[in-house]
Amino acid sequence: MPWTPNIVGFACQWCTYAGADLAGNLRCKYPPTIKLIKVPCSGTVEPEFILEALRRGADGVLVGGCHFGDCHYKEGNYKTSRRMMLLKKLIEDEGFDSRRFRLEWISGAEGMKFAEVVTEFTDQLTELGPNPVKEAVKA
Amino acid sequence: MADKVKVGILLAGGCAGCEMALVDLSERLVDALDALEIVFWAPTAADVKYKDLEAMPDDFIDVGFVDGMVRNSENKHTVEVLRKKSKVLIGYGACAGLGGIAAMGDLHTQEELFNTAYKDSWSTDNPDGVMPTPEYTLEGKYDLTIPSFTDRVYTVDELVDVDYFVGGCPPHHEHVMKAIELLLSGQLPAKGSWLTGGKAVCDVCKRNPAETGETRRPVGKVYRMIDGQPDPDKCLLQQGYICFGPITQGDCGSACLSANVPCRGCGGPLPGVKDYGARCLQTIASALADDASTEELMAKYPQLAKFVYRYSYTTGKIDRKTPAA
C-alpha cells in the first residue's frame, strides 16, 4: 500500500469542526488523511500539543479556528494567531520543516474550504514525505 | 553516633557552577557535615578517583548528586556507575534535569560545533586544522584515548533512573537547603519529582502586578535588556522585557528579578509543564497585545528556540536535528 500522510487536526467546535461537518453534508470529497480532534476553541490548542503530535510521528498538524471577529470567546483566535506565529518560528529554528504545520481560519459555512485545505495539505505532505522525527524516535 | 549519611557528588558535563553553589553554603555545609560524610566528589573537590568509585560496593552511597548534562562517553560511563553505587540519585541543577546551556548545541550539527570550537573563533590558533580524535597512537606505540562526543546532549534521566531533581543554574542556596532538609527528614515526594517549593517565580516576585495592585495590560512594545533600563519596581513583562517567571519554579526567591534582570527559566518548569519552550511561547503570546508586537518579538530574538529553551532544549519535543553519530 502506498504511503499516505497522517494529519492530526485540531478543530474549534464553533467554526472549523462545523465546517468539516458541512463538508460531509455537502458530499465534498477529500482524502481520509486527517484525524480531527474537537476542541472548545483554537485558543485552547497549546503549542505543546502540536510539538507532541509532531514528535510522535504525525506527518502534519492542522489547526483550524474561526475568522477574526467571529470567535465564540471573542479573542481566542487572536491568541491562537500570536502563539502559532511564534511556534512556526520555533519549529523552523529547530531545523524542522514548518510546512508540516498549518493554521487556517475556516468558518462553519465553509465546508468546501475545509475539503480544499485538507486536499491541498495532503498533497503538500505527500511531496514532503514521512515525518523525519518518526524515524529518529524509533531508533 | 549513628552512621553518617554517605554522599557522592559527580560533575558530569557541567561547568562546576553547581559545585560552587554547594561550596557557597559554607558554614551551613560545614554544620551539615556532622550528619553527612562525603565519600566521593570528583573531579572537583575531593581527592577521589573514578576507579575508587568503581571499586565501591553497589548501593554504598546513600545519596548521589549528579550535576551537568551528559555530553561525552566519560559522562555517560560515570553517571551509570554512580547510579549503581547510589541508593538515591539526585539530578542537581538545570543541566542534569533539562540539558542546560550546552543543550543549545543540539541546534547545530557536530561539525558546526567543532568548527567553531577548534577552527573559526578569532582566538583559535590552529593552522593544521587539528580536531579532537577519540583514539590516537603516539609515536607508534602509545594508544591514547579521550572521551568521544555523544550524538546529542542527554539529560541524566534519559540514561539512568533519577529519583529527584533540584532546579537552578546553579541551584540557589534555598534550593539546596530545601533538598538537604527533605533528605534528612525523610519526607520525600514521589520518585521523579523536583524537590521544590512548587511556586512560580511570579509567586515570590515583589513586582507581580497582583502584589502591587496594578491591572495587567497587554504588552504593546517588546524590549531587550540592551534597549534601556527597566523600572526597578514594576513587572518586567508588563514593561515589555520578556520574562519567563510565570512558568518557572521560584525557589530562587526571584533572585534575578531583584537585580532587575528578567527570569530565563533556570529553576525548571512548573509541575505539569512538559515542554518548557512551548509553554513559554504560549504564555508570552498571551501577554502580547497583537500580531505586530509578536512580529517585533521575533525580530528582536532571531534565535527564538535558543531564547525559550535556554536551559531546557533536551526536554523539548523535537530536538533531533543532529543526525545520530
What's the ipTM? 0.87
Lowest mean pLDDT, pick from A67-71, B189-193, B296-300:
B189-193
Does any CB of chain A come closer than 8 Å to the CB of residue B274?
A: yes
Does any CB of chain B come closer than 8 Å to the CB of residue A96?
A: yes
C-alpha cell at A35: 484525524
pLDDT of residue B317: 65
For A69, phi then psi, to 5°, come to: 90, -15
Chain A CA closest to residue B283: A83
Residues of A in contact with B244 (CB under 8 A): none
Contact residues, B window 81-120, toward A, CB-based 8 Å cutoff: 107
pLDDT of residue A123: 96
Residues B290, A139: C-beta atoms closer than 8 Å: no
Residues with Cβ within 8 Å of A47's Cβ and at least 6 positions away in sequence, in order, are: A83, A84, A86, A87, A90, B275, B278, B279, B281, B282
Q: How many residues does chain B have?
A: 325
Does any CB of chain A come closer than 8 Å to the CB of residue B72?
A: no
Residue B278 has its nearest CB partner, among A47, A89, A95, at A47
Q: Which amino acid is at B272?
A: G
pLDDT of residue B2: 58
Helix ranges restricted to H, A1-110: 16-25, 47-55, 76-93
Residue % of chain B over a pLDDT of 70: 97
pLDDT of residue B325: 31
Residues of B in contact with A85 (CB under 8 A): 285, 291, 294-295, 298
Reported as a pLDDT band with limits 50, 70 and 90, residue B323 is very low
pLDDT of residue B200: 92
Picking from B12, B27, B4, the residue whose alpha carbon sits closest to that of residue B173 is B27
Residues A83, B306: C-beta atoms closer than 8 Å: no
Reported as a pLDDT band with limits 50, 70 and 90, residue B186 is confident
Other CB atoms closer than 10 Å to residue B300's CB: what's the count? 16
The answer to whether residue B322 scores a pLDDT higher than 60 is: no
The answer to whether residue A139 scores a pLDDT higher than 80 is: no
Residues of A in contact with B277 (CB under 8 A): 90
Chain centre distance of CA B233: 28
Residue A86 has its nearest CB partner, among B298, B303, B324, at B298
Residues of A in contact with B281 (CB under 8 A): 47, 83, 86-87, 90
Give me the mean pLDDT over the B128-154 stretch: 88
pTM to 2 decimal places:
0.87
Residue A139 has its nearest CB partner, among B107, B297, B324, at B324
Strand, coil or helix: what is B8? strand
